[in-house]
Structure 1
Amino acid sequence: MPRPGTKKQLLETIETEQKALEELLAGLSPAQMTQPGVVGEWSVKDVLAHLLEWQHMVLSWHSAGLLGKVPVIPAEGFNWAQIPQLNQQIYEKYCKQPLTDIQKEFKSSHQKMLRTIQNLSEEDLFKRGRYAWTKNNTLGTYFISSTSSHYLWARTNLKKGLKAGKLK
Structure 2
Amino acid sequence: MAVPKNKEELIKAIEDSYAKLKQDLDTIPAELTKMKELEGHAKGTEMSVSDLVAYLIGWAELVLKWHRKKENKEIVDFPETGYKWNQLGKLAQKFYKDYETFAYSELLEKLEKHVNEILEIVKETANKELYEQPWYEKYTKGKMIQFNTSSPYKNARARVRKWKKIKSN
> TM-score with structure 2 length normalisation?
0.90
The amino acid that maps onto 1:152 is K
- Corresponding residue for residue 32 of structure 1: 32
Alpha-carbon RMSD across the aligned residues, in angstroms, is: 1.6
TM-superposed deviation, 1:4: 0.3
Counterpart position of 2:69: 64
**1:51, 1:17 → 2: CA distance?**
13
2:97, 2:26 → 1: CA distance? 25
Q: Is the aligned partner of 1:152 residue 2:139?
A: no
After superposition, the C-alpha distances for 1:120-154 in whole angstroms (9 at most, x for unaligned) are 0001110123x3xx110000011101211010010
Once the 2 structures are TM-superposed, how far is the Cα of residue 13 of structure 1 from its aligned partner?
Answer: 1.1
Where in structure 2 are the equivalents of 1:107-126 lying within 5 Å? 107-126=112-131
**Count of aligned pairs between the two proteins:** 164
In structure 2, C-alpha distance between the alignment counterparts of 1:86 and 1:34, rounded to whole Å? 19
Give the equivalent residue in structure 2 for 1:2: 2
Please state if 1:73 is matched with 2:78.
yes
Per-residue CA shift, 1:98-139, capped at 9, x if unaligned?
21221111111111011111110001110123x3xx110000
Distance of 1:98 and 1:29 partners within structure 2: 12
- What is residue 137 of structure 1 aligned with on the other side? 139
Identity fraction in percent: 24
Which residue of structure 1 lines up, in the alignment, with residue 99 of structure 2? 94
Q: State the partner residue of 2:60.
A: 55
Question: What is the alpha-carbon distance in structure 1 between the residues aligned to residue 21 and residue 116 of structure 2?
Answer: 15
SS of the residue corresponding to residue 107 of structure 2 reads: helix
The CA distance in 2 between the partners of 1:25 and 1:89, in whole Å, is 21
Q: Is the 8 A contact 1:38 1:162 kept in 2?
A: no
Q: Which amino acid aligns with 1:36?
A: K
Cα distance in 2 between the residues matched to 1:141 and 1:59: 14
8 Å CA contact retained: 1:39, 1:161: no
Distance 2:56 2:8 in 1: 22
Q: How far is 1:27 from its partner?
A: 2.3
> How far apart in 2 are the matches of 1:63 and 1:146?
16
Q: Is the 8 A contact 1:54 1:146 kept in 2?
A: yes
In structure 1, runs of 5+ residues without a counterpart are none
Structure 1 distance, partners of 2:39, 2:108, is: 17
Residue 11 of structure 2 corresponds to which residue in structure 1?
Answer: 11
Which TM-score applies when normalising by structure 1?
0.90
Q: 2 CA distance for matches of 1:68 and 1:38?
A: 39
Structure (1/2) with the larger strand percentage: 2
Runs of 5+ unmatched residues, structure 2: 41-45
